[in-house]
Amino acid sequence: MGVLLFALGEGGLLVVGAGLLGLVVWAVGVWWFLAYRGAVRAFGLLVAVAAPVAVLVFFAHRTLWLTALVLVLVWAAALAFARAALRRARPEQPMRASAAPRRQRPVLIMNPKSGGGKVGRFGLVERAEALGARVVVLDPDAPADVAALARTAVAEGADLLGVAGGDGTQALVAAVAAEHDLPFLVVSAGTRNHFAMDLGLDRADPARCLDALTDGEELRVDLGTVAGRPFVNTVSFGVYADLVQRPEYRDDKAGTALDLLPDLLVGEGVRRVDARADATALPAQHAVLVSNNPYGSADDLGVDGRRPRLDAGRLGVLGIRVEGAAQAADLALRGAQSTGLTVLTARQVEVTADADEIPVAVDGEALRMSVPVVCTLRPQALRVLVPRDRPGVPAPVPPVTWRRLTAIAFGRTDRGSDPTAEGPTRD
Protein backbone atom coordinates (compact mmCIF):
# COMPACT_ATOMS: atom_id res chain seq x y z
CA MET A 1 0.00 0.00 0.00
CA GLY A 2 2.87 2.37 0.79
CA VAL A 3 4.41 1.71 -2.63
CA LEU A 4 1.06 2.41 -4.28
CA LEU A 5 0.65 5.70 -2.40
CA PHE A 6 4.13 6.73 -3.53
CA ALA A 7 3.30 5.80 -7.13
CA LEU A 8 0.03 7.76 -7.05
CA GLY A 9 1.81 10.78 -5.60
CA GLU A 10 0.00 13.69 -4.03
CA GLY A 11 -3.43 12.42 -5.14
CA GLY A 12 -3.08 9.21 -3.17
CA LEU A 13 -1.97 11.05 -0.04
CA LEU A 14 -4.91 13.44 -0.36
CA VAL A 15 -7.40 10.57 -0.69
CA VAL A 16 -6.06 8.77 2.38
CA GLY A 17 -5.76 11.95 4.42
CA ALA A 18 -9.27 13.14 3.55
CA GLY A 19 -10.71 9.69 4.22
CA LEU A 20 -9.10 9.42 7.67
CA LEU A 21 -10.11 12.96 8.59
CA GLY A 22 -13.67 12.27 7.48
CA LEU A 23 -13.75 9.11 9.61
CA VAL A 24 -12.52 10.99 12.68
CA VAL A 25 -15.06 13.80 12.26
CA TRP A 26 -17.86 11.28 11.65
CA ALA A 27 -16.98 9.39 14.86
CA VAL A 28 -16.97 12.63 16.86
CA GLY A 29 -20.39 13.53 15.45
CA VAL A 30 -21.79 10.10 16.33
CA TRP A 31 -20.48 10.45 19.90
CA TRP A 32 -22.12 13.86 20.33
CA PHE A 33 -25.36 12.46 18.88
CA LEU A 34 -25.44 9.48 21.28
CA ALA A 35 -24.06 11.07 24.45
CA TYR A 36 -25.93 14.39 24.53
CA ARG A 37 -29.39 15.87 24.02
CA GLY A 38 -30.80 19.04 22.54
CA ALA A 39 -28.63 21.33 20.44
CA VAL A 40 -25.49 19.23 20.91
CA ARG A 41 -27.28 16.10 19.66
CA ALA A 42 -28.63 17.98 16.64
CA PHE A 43 -25.16 19.35 15.87
CA GLY A 44 -23.67 15.87 16.24
CA LEU A 45 -26.15 14.46 13.74
CA LEU A 46 -25.30 17.26 11.34
CA VAL A 47 -21.57 16.58 11.69
CA ALA A 48 -22.02 12.79 11.28
CA VAL A 49 -24.00 13.29 8.05
CA ALA A 50 -21.84 16.13 6.70
CA ALA A 51 -18.48 14.39 7.19
CA PRO A 52 -18.82 11.67 4.50
CA VAL A 53 -20.64 14.12 2.19
CA ALA A 54 -17.75 16.58 2.52
CA VAL A 55 -15.23 13.86 1.67
CA LEU A 56 -17.16 12.95 -1.48
CA VAL A 57 -17.44 16.60 -2.50
CA PHE A 58 -13.70 17.03 -1.96
CA PHE A 59 -12.95 14.02 -4.18
CA ALA A 60 -15.22 15.43 -6.89
CA HIS A 61 -13.72 18.92 -6.69
CA ARG A 62 -10.13 17.65 -6.92
CA THR A 63 -11.00 15.00 -9.54
CA LEU A 64 -9.77 12.22 -7.27
CA TRP A 65 -12.49 9.67 -8.02
CA LEU A 66 -10.21 7.36 -9.99
CA THR A 67 -7.44 7.54 -7.39
CA ALA A 68 -9.89 6.79 -4.61
CA LEU A 69 -11.36 3.86 -6.54
CA VAL A 70 -7.90 2.38 -7.21
CA LEU A 71 -6.95 2.66 -3.55
CA VAL A 72 -10.21 1.05 -2.40
CA LEU A 73 -9.82 -1.84 -4.84
CA VAL A 74 -6.18 -2.41 -3.93
CA TRP A 75 -6.95 -2.26 -0.21
CA ALA A 76 -9.81 -4.75 -0.64
CA ALA A 77 -7.51 -7.08 -2.58
CA ALA A 78 -4.81 -6.76 0.09
CA LEU A 79 -7.31 -7.68 2.83
CA ALA A 80 -8.53 -10.66 0.81
CA PHE A 81 -4.99 -11.96 0.30
CA ALA A 82 -4.12 -11.36 3.97
CA ARG A 83 -7.18 -13.27 5.18
CA ALA A 84 -6.45 -16.09 2.75
CA ALA A 85 -2.91 -16.31 4.13
CA LEU A 86 -4.22 -16.39 7.71
CA ARG A 87 -6.75 -19.09 6.88
CA ARG A 88 -4.08 -21.17 5.17
CA ALA A 89 -1.61 -20.73 8.02
CA ARG A 90 -4.16 -21.75 10.63
CA PRO A 91 -7.14 -23.46 8.95
CA GLU A 92 -10.23 -23.54 11.13
CA GLN A 93 -11.30 -27.09 11.93
CA PRO A 94 -15.04 -27.72 12.11
CA MET A 95 -16.59 -28.86 15.36
CA ARG A 96 -16.36 -32.62 15.55
CA ALA A 97 -19.67 -34.44 15.01
CA SER A 98 -20.42 -38.02 16.05
CA ALA A 99 -23.06 -40.47 14.94
CA ALA A 100 -26.32 -40.32 16.90
CA PRO A 101 -28.92 -43.08 17.14
CA ARG A 102 -32.57 -42.20 16.69
CA ARG A 103 -34.19 -41.24 19.99
CA GLN A 104 -37.28 -43.11 21.14
CA ARG A 105 -38.82 -40.65 23.63
CA PRO A 106 -37.95 -37.09 22.60
CA VAL A 107 -39.72 -34.22 24.37
CA LEU A 108 -39.83 -30.72 22.85
CA ILE A 109 -40.92 -27.56 24.65
CA MET A 110 -42.37 -24.94 22.30
CA ASN A 111 -43.14 -21.27 22.91
CA PRO A 112 -45.94 -20.22 20.51
CA LYS A 113 -45.15 -16.49 20.96
CA SER A 114 -41.44 -16.74 20.22
CA GLY A 115 -40.19 -15.16 17.02
CA GLY A 116 -43.54 -13.59 16.26
CA GLY A 117 -45.37 -16.93 16.18
CA LYS A 118 -42.96 -19.16 14.25
CA VAL A 119 -44.21 -22.29 16.02
CA GLY A 120 -47.65 -21.94 14.44
CA ARG A 121 -46.49 -20.39 11.17
CA PHE A 122 -44.19 -23.33 10.37
CA GLY A 123 -46.45 -26.04 11.83
CA LEU A 124 -43.72 -27.15 14.25
CA VAL A 125 -46.03 -28.93 16.71
CA GLU A 126 -47.63 -31.11 14.05
CA ARG A 127 -44.33 -31.86 12.33
CA ALA A 128 -42.59 -32.81 15.59
CA GLU A 129 -45.44 -35.08 16.66
CA ALA A 130 -45.42 -36.75 13.24
CA LEU A 131 -41.74 -37.55 13.83
CA GLY A 132 -42.51 -39.21 17.16
CA ALA A 133 -41.81 -36.40 19.63
CA ARG A 134 -43.98 -35.39 22.56
CA VAL A 135 -44.58 -31.65 22.47
CA VAL A 136 -45.21 -29.40 25.48
CA VAL A 137 -46.72 -26.12 24.27
CA LEU A 138 -46.31 -23.20 26.69
CA ASP A 139 -49.34 -21.11 27.60
CA PRO A 140 -48.68 -17.55 26.37
CA ASP A 141 -50.81 -16.13 29.21
CA ALA A 142 -49.22 -18.11 32.05
CA PRO A 143 -45.46 -17.82 32.74
CA ALA A 144 -43.92 -21.28 32.98
CA ASP A 145 -40.81 -22.68 34.64
CA VAL A 146 -39.30 -24.32 31.57
CA ALA A 147 -36.47 -25.89 33.58
CA ALA A 148 -39.05 -27.57 35.84
CA LEU A 149 -40.96 -28.80 32.77
CA ALA A 150 -37.72 -30.25 31.39
CA ARG A 151 -36.93 -32.03 34.67
CA THR A 152 -40.44 -33.50 34.74
CA ALA A 153 -39.93 -34.77 31.20
CA VAL A 154 -36.66 -36.43 32.22
CA ALA A 155 -38.34 -38.05 35.24
CA GLU A 156 -41.00 -39.43 32.88
CA GLY A 157 -38.38 -41.08 30.69
CA ALA A 158 -37.44 -38.52 28.02
CA ASP A 159 -34.24 -39.45 26.19
CA LEU A 160 -33.93 -36.08 24.42
CA LEU A 161 -34.89 -32.53 25.34
CA GLY A 162 -35.49 -29.77 22.84
CA VAL A 163 -36.77 -26.21 22.62
CA ALA A 164 -38.49 -24.17 19.94
CA GLY A 165 -38.01 -20.68 21.32
CA GLY A 166 -35.57 -17.90 22.10
CA ASP A 167 -32.00 -18.28 23.30
CA GLY A 168 -32.92 -17.55 26.93
CA THR A 169 -35.35 -20.48 26.98
CA GLN A 170 -32.85 -22.63 25.08
CA ALA A 171 -30.23 -22.07 27.78
CA LEU A 172 -32.48 -23.06 30.68
CA VAL A 173 -33.50 -26.35 29.10
CA ALA A 174 -29.97 -26.99 27.79
CA ALA A 175 -28.70 -26.87 31.39
CA VAL A 176 -31.15 -29.63 32.36
CA ALA A 177 -30.07 -31.72 29.37
CA ALA A 178 -26.41 -31.26 30.33
CA GLU A 179 -27.17 -32.14 33.95
CA HIS A 180 -28.60 -35.50 32.84
CA ASP A 181 -26.20 -36.00 29.91
CA LEU A 182 -29.07 -36.06 27.42
CA PRO A 183 -28.96 -34.79 23.83
CA PHE A 184 -30.44 -31.34 23.29
CA LEU A 185 -32.29 -30.24 20.15
CA VAL A 186 -32.33 -26.58 19.08
CA VAL A 187 -35.27 -25.42 16.95
CA SER A 188 -34.65 -21.93 15.58
CA ALA A 189 -38.05 -20.44 16.45
CA GLY A 190 -36.71 -17.37 18.27
CA THR A 191 -36.26 -13.84 16.98
CA ARG A 192 -32.54 -13.91 16.17
CA ASN A 193 -31.42 -17.44 17.07
CA HIS A 194 -27.70 -16.70 17.55
CA PHE A 195 -27.07 -20.11 19.10
CA ALA A 196 -28.78 -21.87 16.19
CA MET A 197 -26.80 -19.79 13.70
CA ASP A 198 -23.45 -20.76 15.21
CA LEU A 199 -24.53 -24.41 15.19
CA GLY A 200 -25.06 -24.11 11.43
CA LEU A 201 -28.85 -24.50 11.63
CA ASP A 202 -31.36 -23.01 9.22
CA ARG A 203 -32.81 -19.85 10.78
CA ALA A 204 -35.11 -19.14 7.85
CA ASP A 205 -36.92 -22.49 8.12
CA PRO A 206 -37.00 -23.81 11.72
CA ALA A 207 -38.84 -26.96 10.56
CA ARG A 208 -35.55 -28.17 9.08
CA CYS A 209 -34.09 -28.38 12.58
CA LEU A 210 -36.53 -31.22 13.29
CA ASP A 211 -34.78 -33.36 10.68
CA ALA A 212 -32.30 -34.18 13.44
CA LEU A 213 -34.94 -36.46 14.99
CA THR A 214 -34.60 -38.90 12.09
CA ASP A 215 -31.20 -38.11 10.58
CA GLY A 216 -29.02 -36.39 13.14
CA GLU A 217 -25.54 -36.22 14.55
CA GLU A 218 -24.16 -34.92 17.84
CA LEU A 219 -21.90 -31.98 18.62
CA ARG A 220 -20.26 -31.47 22.01
CA VAL A 221 -20.36 -27.75 22.86
CA ASP A 222 -19.58 -25.55 25.85
CA LEU A 223 -22.21 -24.14 28.20
CA GLY A 224 -21.68 -20.83 29.95
CA THR A 225 -22.78 -20.01 33.50
CA VAL A 226 -23.27 -16.60 35.11
CA ALA A 227 -23.87 -16.65 38.87
CA GLY A 228 -24.99 -20.26 38.41
CA ARG A 229 -27.46 -19.45 35.61
CA PRO A 230 -26.77 -21.02 32.19
CA PHE A 231 -26.23 -19.05 28.99
CA VAL A 232 -25.55 -20.14 25.43
CA ASN A 233 -24.60 -16.81 23.82
CA THR A 234 -23.69 -13.69 25.78
CA VAL A 235 -23.88 -11.93 29.12
CA SER A 236 -23.82 -8.12 29.06
CA PHE A 237 -23.02 -5.66 31.83
CA GLY A 238 -23.13 -1.87 31.82
CA VAL A 239 -24.92 0.28 29.26
CA TYR A 240 -26.74 -2.45 27.31
CA ALA A 241 -27.80 -4.24 30.48
CA ASP A 242 -29.23 -0.96 31.78
CA LEU A 243 -31.19 -0.44 28.56
CA VAL A 244 -32.85 -3.85 28.46
CA GLN A 245 -34.12 -3.38 32.03
CA ARG A 246 -36.54 -0.73 30.78
CA PRO A 247 -40.00 -2.09 29.86
CA GLU A 248 -40.28 0.32 26.94
CA TYR A 249 -37.08 -1.04 25.35
CA ARG A 250 -38.86 -4.12 23.94
CA ASP A 251 -41.33 -2.02 21.96
CA ASP A 252 -39.03 0.84 20.91
CA LYS A 253 -35.36 -0.11 21.06
CA ALA A 254 -33.97 2.82 19.07
CA GLY A 255 -36.13 5.47 20.76
CA THR A 256 -35.43 4.16 24.26
CA ALA A 257 -31.70 3.98 23.58
CA LEU A 258 -31.55 7.56 22.26
CA ASP A 259 -33.51 8.78 25.26
CA LEU A 260 -31.40 7.02 27.89
CA LEU A 261 -27.86 6.90 26.44
CA PRO A 262 -26.89 10.47 27.45
CA ASP A 263 -27.53 9.62 31.09
CA LEU A 264 -25.82 6.22 30.82
CA LEU A 265 -22.72 7.51 29.02
CA VAL A 266 -21.95 10.90 30.56
CA GLY A 267 -24.88 11.93 32.79
CA GLU A 268 -25.98 11.29 36.33
CA GLY A 269 -27.12 7.77 35.50
CA VAL A 270 -23.71 6.59 34.32
CA ARG A 271 -22.77 3.31 35.95
CA ARG A 272 -19.31 1.85 35.43
CA VAL A 273 -18.42 -1.76 36.09
CA ASP A 274 -15.07 -3.30 36.92
CA ALA A 275 -14.14 -6.67 35.50
CA ARG A 276 -11.33 -9.16 35.91
CA ALA A 277 -10.74 -11.69 33.14
CA ASP A 278 -8.53 -14.31 34.77
CA ALA A 279 -5.63 -12.09 35.93
CA THR A 280 -6.35 -9.12 33.63
CA ALA A 281 -8.15 -6.13 35.18
CA LEU A 282 -10.63 -4.03 33.18
CA PRO A 283 -11.47 -1.03 35.41
CA ALA A 284 -14.35 1.45 35.01
CA GLN A 285 -15.88 0.01 31.84
CA HIS A 286 -18.97 1.48 30.20
CA ALA A 287 -19.87 -2.01 29.02
CA VAL A 288 -18.55 -5.55 29.34
CA LEU A 289 -19.72 -8.39 27.13
CA VAL A 290 -18.88 -12.00 27.96
CA SER A 291 -19.60 -14.64 25.32
CA ASN A 292 -19.75 -18.42 25.33
CA ASN A 293 -16.61 -18.79 23.18
CA PRO A 294 -15.10 -15.77 21.41
CA TYR A 295 -16.46 -14.17 18.27
CA GLY A 296 -14.33 -14.22 15.14
CA SER A 297 -13.28 -10.60 15.75
CA ALA A 298 -14.46 -7.47 17.52
CA ASP A 299 -16.20 -6.51 14.27
CA ASP A 300 -18.43 -9.63 14.51
CA LEU A 301 -20.56 -8.53 17.45
CA GLY A 302 -23.55 -7.27 15.51
CA VAL A 303 -26.82 -9.01 14.76
CA ASP A 304 -25.14 -11.56 12.47
CA GLY A 305 -21.86 -11.85 14.32
CA ARG A 306 -20.57 -15.41 14.48
CA ARG A 307 -18.47 -17.53 16.78
CA PRO A 308 -16.24 -19.86 14.74
CA ARG A 309 -16.41 -22.54 17.44
CA LEU A 310 -18.57 -23.40 20.43
CA ASP A 311 -16.21 -25.99 21.90
CA ALA A 312 -12.94 -24.11 22.46
CA GLY A 313 -13.37 -23.90 26.24
CA ARG A 314 -12.82 -20.12 26.43
CA LEU A 315 -15.02 -17.15 27.22
CA GLY A 316 -14.83 -14.20 24.86
CA VAL A 317 -14.48 -10.87 26.68
CA LEU A 318 -15.11 -7.39 25.28
CA GLY A 319 -14.67 -4.25 27.40
CA ILE A 320 -15.69 -0.78 26.19
CA ARG A 321 -14.61 2.45 27.84
CA VAL A 322 -15.10 5.65 25.84
CA GLU A 323 -14.49 8.86 27.80
CA GLY A 324 -15.30 11.43 25.12
CA ALA A 325 -15.23 12.46 21.49
CA ALA A 326 -11.46 12.04 21.17
CA GLN A 327 -11.58 8.43 22.33
CA ALA A 328 -14.59 7.77 20.08
CA ALA A 329 -12.48 8.97 17.15
CA ASP A 330 -9.59 6.76 18.28
CA LEU A 331 -11.97 3.80 18.42
CA ALA A 332 -13.19 4.49 14.88
CA LEU A 333 -9.63 4.70 13.55
CA ARG A 334 -7.91 1.89 15.44
CA GLY A 335 -10.73 -0.53 16.25
CA ALA A 336 -9.57 -3.30 18.57
CA GLN A 337 -6.19 -1.55 18.96
CA SER A 338 -7.87 1.47 20.57
CA THR A 339 -7.42 2.13 24.27
CA GLY A 340 -11.21 2.31 24.53
CA LEU A 341 -11.72 -1.31 23.45
CA THR A 342 -10.32 -4.43 25.10
CA VAL A 343 -10.74 -7.81 23.43
CA LEU A 344 -9.46 -10.97 25.08
CA THR A 345 -10.37 -14.49 26.16
CA ALA A 346 -10.47 -16.04 29.61
CA ARG A 347 -11.69 -19.00 31.61
CA GLN A 348 -13.36 -16.90 34.30
CA VAL A 349 -14.66 -13.35 34.40
CA GLU A 350 -15.66 -11.53 37.60
CA VAL A 351 -17.66 -8.30 37.37
CA THR A 352 -18.12 -5.88 40.27
CA ALA A 353 -19.50 -2.38 40.75
CA ASP A 354 -20.17 0.18 43.46
CA ALA A 355 -23.55 -1.35 44.28
CA ASP A 356 -25.01 -4.41 45.98
CA GLU A 357 -26.50 -5.66 42.72
CA ILE A 358 -26.28 -4.70 39.07
CA PRO A 359 -28.36 -5.12 35.89
CA VAL A 360 -27.30 -8.08 33.75
CA ALA A 361 -28.56 -9.11 30.31
CA VAL A 362 -28.32 -12.90 29.91
CA ASP A 363 -29.00 -14.06 26.35
CA GLY A 364 -31.11 -10.91 25.98
CA GLU A 365 -33.08 -11.48 29.20
CA ALA A 366 -33.10 -8.59 31.71
CA LEU A 367 -32.00 -9.69 35.20
CA ARG A 368 -30.42 -8.24 38.32
CA MET A 369 -27.63 -10.07 40.15
CA SER A 370 -25.68 -9.57 43.37
CA VAL A 371 -22.05 -8.58 42.98
CA PRO A 372 -19.56 -9.98 42.38
CA VAL A 373 -21.01 -11.68 39.31
CA VAL A 374 -18.87 -14.58 38.12
CA CYS A 375 -18.98 -16.01 34.58
CA THR A 376 -17.46 -19.40 33.87
CA LEU A 377 -17.64 -22.08 31.20
CA ARG A 378 -18.43 -25.78 31.36
CA PRO A 379 -16.31 -27.18 28.51
CA GLN A 380 -18.20 -29.53 26.16
CA ALA A 381 -20.90 -30.11 28.77
CA LEU A 382 -23.76 -30.05 26.27
CA ARG A 383 -24.62 -32.70 23.68
CA VAL A 384 -26.44 -30.98 20.82
CA LEU A 385 -28.34 -33.02 18.24
CA VAL A 386 -28.25 -31.36 14.81
CA PRO A 387 -29.38 -32.48 11.33
CA ARG A 388 -26.68 -33.94 9.13
CA ASP A 389 -27.87 -31.69 6.32
CA ARG A 390 -27.70 -28.09 7.55
CA PRO A 391 -26.56 -24.80 6.00
CA GLY A 392 -23.37 -24.74 8.05
CA VAL A 393 -21.29 -21.83 9.28
CA PRO A 394 -19.22 -19.93 6.69
CA ALA A 395 -15.47 -20.05 7.10
CA PRO A 396 -14.64 -17.46 9.77
CA VAL A 397 -12.92 -14.28 8.66
CA PRO A 398 -9.76 -13.94 10.77
CA PRO A 399 -8.89 -10.50 12.13
CA VAL A 400 -6.09 -8.99 10.07
CA THR A 401 -3.31 -7.46 12.18
CA TRP A 402 0.30 -6.64 11.41
CA ARG A 403 1.39 -8.90 14.29
CA ARG A 404 -0.29 -11.94 12.76
CA LEU A 405 0.86 -11.22 9.22
CA THR A 406 4.43 -10.63 10.40
CA ALA A 407 4.37 -13.91 12.33
CA ILE A 408 3.30 -15.77 9.20
CA ALA A 409 5.88 -13.99 7.03
CA PHE A 410 8.72 -15.02 9.38
CA GLY A 411 7.38 -18.52 10.00
CA ARG A 412 6.45 -17.96 13.63
CA THR A 413 3.43 -19.48 15.42
CA ASP A 414 0.90 -16.83 16.42
CA ARG A 415 -0.32 -18.14 19.78
CA GLY A 416 -1.81 -14.77 20.65
CA SER A 417 -4.67 -15.36 18.22
CA ASP A 418 -5.48 -18.85 19.49
CA PRO A 419 -8.71 -18.78 21.50
CA THR A 420 -7.85 -22.08 23.13
CA ALA A 421 -4.45 -20.96 24.39
CA GLU A 422 -3.87 -20.76 28.14
CA GLY A 423 -4.27 -17.41 29.85
CA PRO A 424 -5.90 -14.19 28.63
CA THR A 425 -5.17 -13.39 25.00
CA ARG A 426 -5.75 -10.10 23.22
CA ASP A 427 -6.89 -9.73 19.61
Radius of gyration of the chain, Cα coordinates, nearest whole angstrom: 24
Q: What is the DSSP string of 334-386?
A: HGGGSTTEEEEEES-EEEE-SSSEEEEEETTEEEEEESSEEEEEEEEEEEEEE
95-109, 350-364, 407-421: which range is least confident on average? 407-421
Residues 24 and 13: their CA atoms lie apart, in Å, by: 17
* Pairing outcome for strands 97-99 and 425-426: unpaired
pLDDT in tens, 128-183: 999 999 999 999 888 889 999 999 999 999 999 999 998 889 999 999 999 999 99
Taking each helix axis from N to C end, the angle separating 402-409 and 65-89, rounded to the nearest 10 degrees, works out to 60
Q: What is the pLDDT of residue 318?
A: 93
Q: What is the pLDDT of residue 229?
A: 95
Contact 380, 220 (CB under 8 A): yes
C-alpha pair distances (Å), 79 with each of 84, 85, 400: 8, 10, 7
Q: What is the pLDDT of residue 401?
A: 63
In angstroms, how far is the first alpha carbon of the chain from the final one? Answer: 23
Confidence check: pLDDT of 423 > 50:
no
* Pairing outcome for strands 349-352 and 373-387: antiparallel
Question: Does the model's pTM come out above 0.75?
Answer: yes
CB atoms within 10 A of CB 109: 25
- Burial track 150-174 (b if 16+ CB lie within 10 A, e otherwise): bbebbeeebebbbbbbbbbbbbbbb
Q: What is the DSSP string of 382-406?
A: EEEEEESS---PPPP-----HHHHH
Q: What is the pLDDT of residue 327?
A: 79
Q: What is the pLDDT of residue 301?
A: 54
pLDDT in tens, 219-237: 999 999 999 999 999 999 9
C-alpha pair distances (Å), 139 with each of 189, 250, 311, 324: 16, 20, 34, 47
pLDDT in tens, 36-51: 989 999 999 999 999 9
Q: What is the pLDDT of residue 189?
A: 92
Contact 225, 349 (CB under 8 A): no
Q: Which of 59, 67, 78, 69 is nearest to 1 (CA)?
A: 78
pLDDT in tens, 286-345: 999 999 999 876 655 555 678 888 999 999 999 998 888 887 888 777 776 787 889 999
